[in-house]
Amino acid sequence: MSPTRAERAVALEAWADDVDATDLVEIDTDALKAIAQYAARRDRLENALTDAVRAARRNGRSWSEIGTMLGVSKQAAQRKYAKLAS
């Protein structure tokens, strides 16, 4: 969980501690929980993908090859990962 999401979670918990129970309405939060879980997975996956691109570049792989593996053009791969992979 990113610091921003963690800080928001702490703020939400503090609010929940202070709220009057009679003001609460029960709602289904499964979709929101799923969003948070997928966002955390996306962050981990993006970090792993950046590490893989960095390793490929260190091993002499071209941006064309990397772009092909990502399903994008060499320019798109370079634009997204060049600064992160250096």
Query: Which DSSP helix (H) or strand (E) runs through 9?
Result: helix 3-18
Please state whether the predicted TM-score (pTM) of the whole model is above 0.75: no
Q: pLDDT tens digit string along 14-43?
A: 888 888 878 778 888 999 999 999 999 999
User: What count of other Cβ atoms lies within 10 Å of the Cβ of residue 43?
Assistant: 13
CA dist., res. 34 & res. 16, Å (int): 20
Domain ranges of the chain: 3-17+30-81
Token pair recorded at residue 65: 């090859």
Q: What is the pLDDT of residues 61-82, one digit of tens each?
A: 999 999 999 999 999 999 999 9
